Chain A
Amino acid sequence: MTSDALLELKDVTVEFPGVRGLRALTAPPEARRVQAVSGISLRVEHGETLALVGESGSGKTTLARAINGLVPLARGEVWFDGQPLHARPDWHAVRRRVAMMFQDPVGSLSPRKTVRELILEPFAIHGVRVKDRKTRARDLLAAAGLGPDFLDRYPHQLSGGQARRVGVARALALDPALVLADEPTAGLDVSIQGEILNLMNRVKREHGLTTLIITHNLNILRHIADRVAVMYLGRIVEIGPVEQLLSTPAHPYTRALMAANPEPDPTARRERIVLGGETPALSARPPGCEFHPRCPVARPDCATCPPALAPARTGGEVSCHYPLGSDERIGA
């Protein structure tokens, strides 16, 4: 790797079987496998927080799982700190430095272990000897904002926010370089959501963490992310600095997504671009630009010619022939 990016993806593609069983024998070859993640290239710099946003089925979680080796790559390269993760690495060693925070805060904790055991579990898995287990567990818990009285509780005795804090403590236990956080606010009430995000921002600052956050909660983007990548049907349609994406999105889908977000202000009831239809199935990707059947500004050539990710006038990169704010066709 030539750059100083901590994580670099090149043309990462993940495939799943599209049809199973006997039907797979008669199905046309292109229907046998679907691409959940399709040719994604991106870089995450040291200390940066990149947010992956997109709707269900856009491939956000699959991408994170592919980085951490939980699903195999069909194609492409993943470089982590100069190390190729696509070439059968020692995952055990890699995962010591790449921590994952899973989506379901309670479900990702073993119900039969106490918080103390859960927090010390990463050390046991990686054979790291802990001198003073008691202090270590207490310190980690304190860093996640929970008092020592939680050490002997079981997951069912925790609220969603508390379970999330235990998840943060577990992810930080081995002092990782990269954290992959899958929907850190899913299922949390707004009154606690702020505490969890503040906690993540704080540990990120204190530990110099690089973070990849997956979220569909657009409201929190501004407060946690440096850059944002918008995904649609397993591809990145736009990537750029967070403020720029929120204020001057270049891709029509980004604009619709940001505008679809209801604001807690009745005076802000505004005319919205209501997107027609729904995300197509991965097995029935539209030709040309895959967003064109739902795109409010699509032109005839969008239906035939697929766009590629290219530098946008507003900064960042966009995959659109006619990005918002420019009349010229890009790359014609």
Chain B
Amino acid sequence: MTNTLTVKDLSVSYDTRTGALQALRNVSIDVPAGEIVGVVGESGCGKSTLIGALLSLLSENAHVVGGEIRLAGEDILRASPRRLQAIRGNEMSVVFQDPMTSLNPVLSIGRQMRDIQYRERISDAEKSRRAAAMLGRVGLPDPEAKLHAYPHELSGGMRQRVAIAMAALMEPKLLIADEPTTALDATLEVQIIELLKEIQREIGCAILFISHHLGVIAELCDRMVVMYAGEAVEEGPVAEVFQRPAHPYTAKLIECDPGRLHERVEALPAIPGSLPDLTDPPAGCIFRDRCDMATEICAREAPPRVTVTPGRWSACHHAKAVRP
């Protein structure tokens, strides 16, 4: 199978007053064509840095220290600014968390949707027609009239539908969804998940879905990557990872989600401790301070990627011994 996106050994650091903060360290992620891959991790795991690197939109104090990013074979990190501009929005587009801040508040929806078709040599009327057709496809009632609406006139769920319509308009190869349901209520979250599934089927793109919400990942994705403190610690098909996690962090994370407990418990599980200082990451395994399986080797050597089953790996010295 060909990969729409290949991230290989990507490392990104930020310059800070206290030294280089190593936000991503040797992260590898494959997104096969036509699949939905979830990236799950908690605050500080490097999700946002990853998106910044994919879109070449990192802040000024960030450096790509090493690794490569390929979109359908093309090396993104070495692409010219001009080429990048052609890629963004056309071949790779993104839906952000909060549609109120990603849409321009002073331009109508129609104007914004015509603007993003600036590369197309078609008339404005034709651009509007396409825009309205896409708005209809994402389930906006009365799409022609909505072209004249401004973002504040739409509800939160509708705004996110507009953002998805804009991302899907050019039928990109890769759609990046950055916590697209986090700002929405539960009943709208379901609607947006269903919509993303539909869009994926219709335009056949691959989706990289970034979330901290295990439930949403389980619901939507084919494969998943678990990140912790700037490293990818486990990757595999969603069903297998949830059933038999092969990294202690994954196992703990799933255990902590109260959604899986169907009986009332006196003490809810948690992961004691906190993230390590990424300006000076500890030697050995990044998770060992919070891991109850850690042994002496974990403090000494960084764990290799252990293939658990074909297409599935875990970065843990004790991968085969992890129990759900």
Contacts and interface: CB of A to CB of B under 8 A. Distances in A.
Interface of A: 55-56, 159-160, 189-195, 197-198, 201, 216, 218-220, 222-223, 243, 256-257, 260-269, 272, 274-275, 278-279
B43 A160 contact: yes
Contacts, number: 126
B193 A262 contact: yes
Interface string B41-53: 0110000000000
B19 interface: no
Find the residue from B218, B239, B243, B265 having the highest chain A CB count within 10 A.
B218
B304 interface: no
A56 B185 contact: yes
B57 interface: no
Nearest to A225: B264
Interface string B232-273: 000000110011000000001110111111111111111110
B218 A263 contact: yes
B166 to A, nearest CB: 20
Contacts of B243: 267
Given A220-B268, A260-B189, 15 more contacts: A56-B156, A56-B185, A189-B42, A190-B214, A190-B253, A223-B261, A223-B264, A256-B187, A257-B187, A260-B190, A263-B215, A263-B218, A264-B254, A266-B238, A278-B157
Nearest to A247: B262
A263 B193 CA distance: 13
B219 A190 contact: no
A193 B258 contact: yes
Nearest to A218: B186
15 contacts: A189-B43, A189-B212, A190-B256, A194-B268, A216-B186, A219-B215, A222-B258, A222-B263, A243-B264, A260-B186, A260-B190, A263-B215, A264-B218, A267-B242, A269-B218
Interface in B32-75: 42-43
A128 to B, nearest CB: 32
A272 B189 CA distance: 12
B88 interface: no
A249 to B, nearest CB: 14
Interface string B151-173: 00001111000000000000000
B213 A265 contact: no
A159 B277 CA distance: 13
Contact of A272 (B190, B218, B263): B190
Chain A contact residues, majority secondary structure: helix
Interface of B: 42-43, 155-158, 185-191, 193-194, 212-219, 238-239, 242-243, 252-254, 256-272, 274
A216 B256 contact: no
B256 A191 contact: yes
Q: Is the interface of B mostly helix, strand, loop or mixed?
A: helix
Contact of B158 (A198, A243, A267, A278): A278
Nearest to A159: B274
Contact of B213 (A195, A197, A262, A274): A262
Contacts of A193: 256, 258, 268, 270
Contact of B270 (A55, A191, A275): A191
Contact of B239 (A55, A189, A220, A267): A267
B264 A269 contact: no
A191 B255 CA distance: 9
B259 A264 contact: yes
B186 A198 contact: no
B256 A194 contact: yes
Given A55-B186, A262-B219, A274 B270 contact: no
Nearest to A192: B270
B188 A278 contact: yes
A198 B272 CA distance: 13
B155 A220 contact: no
Contacts of A160: 43
Contacts of A192: 270-271
Given A160-B43, A197-B268, A265 B252 contact: no
Contacts of A268: 218
A24 to B, nearest CB: 19
Given A193-B258, A198-B268, A266-B239, A55 B185 contact: yes
A279 to B, nearest CB: 8
A266 B242 contact: yes
A272 B216 CA distance: 14
A243 B189 CA distance: 24
B172 to A, nearest CB: 25
A219 B274 contact: no
A195 B42 contact: no
Given A189-B43, A260-B187, A265 B158 contact: no
A256 B185 CA distance: 12
A264 B242 contact: yes
A263 B260 contact: yes
Contacts of B158: 278
A274 B190 contact: yes
Nearest to B213: A262
Contact of B267 (A191, A198, A261, A275): A198
Given A192-B270, A267-B239, A278-B158, A262 B256 contact: no
B204 to A, nearest CB: 21
A265 B242 contact: yes
Nearest to A58: B185
Q: Which 7 A-B pairs have the closest CB atoms?
A: A262-B215, A194-B268, A194-B270, A55-B185, A264-B214, A191-B271, A189-B42
A265 B260 contact: yes
Contacts of B157: 278
